[in-house]
Structures are given as structure tokens and as C-alpha cells.
Amino acid sequence: MAHRDPLTAPDETEFCRWLGQASVGDAVEYHRGFLAVDLSLAGSPLSPSARKKLASLASRAWWAAERGLVDLAQRRRGPEDYVYVAILRRRPTPLQRQRAAFPALMRSLPWR
């Protein structure tokens, strides 16, 4: 699933659908451009509605990466031209999720 044009890039719902249907190692291109510039109010070539759609999509990709569902990567294509890709990882087991949560649990205890 490769998307080059912001008008044909997946939206947040399509990205979530991809997360549920993809196989380990599958990749989706969720943006092409310069994400930091394209999300900014000043200098972005995108319309406000396209920028809002991109912000939702980028946030969802980051959310999936924080939970160990995907790895996020980018490839430079040229000056201010990057391809942003999410690559599906193996789903964490319940034990792996517990182990990942353990450091946060320890930090939250009052006796530290």
C-alpha cells in the first residue's frame, strides 16, 4: 500500500484497518513530504483540513509504535522529500506487554 499524494494517503481509519489486516513485515507508506513542515501552521503546503487529517494519521502511527505494533521508518528521496513508512511488527504476547509495563509500574510506587 504505497501513497504518494496527500489526497490519496490513508486516513486514520484506513491505517487502523491496515493494522488489523496486515501480516508481520508488511509496510504502509503513510506520508510523503516533510512531516514536520507539513504539520506546521507556517510553511505547510497543505490545506488546514489536509493538515488535520495528516496530524491524526501521524498521531495514530506514533501510538501504534509506542505500543510495539509497528516500527516507524523514513527514507530520504530528495531535499525536504521523505517517505514515512510503518512496518508491522510481531504482536506482543501478554507477558511481553506486562514486562513492558513493569518499569512504569515501579516508577509509580510511592516507596521509590
Q: How many domains does the chain have?
A: 1
For residues 8 and 35, what is the distance between their CA atoms, to the nearest angstrom?
A: 16
Q: Answer whether 26's CB lies under 8 Å from 87's CB.
A: yes
- Which CATH number do you get for residue 79? 1.10.10
Which structural domain, as residue segments, surrounds residue 70? 12-108
**53-81: pLDDT as tens digits:** 999 999 999 999 988 899 999 999 998 89
Residue 1 lies in a domain: no
pTM: 0.73
Q: H/E/C letters for each residue in 4-29?
A: CCCCCCCCHHHHHHHHHHCCCCCEEE
**pLDDT tens, position by position, 18-56:** 999 999 999 999 999 999 999 998 888 888 999 999 999
What is the SS3 assignment for 44? coil
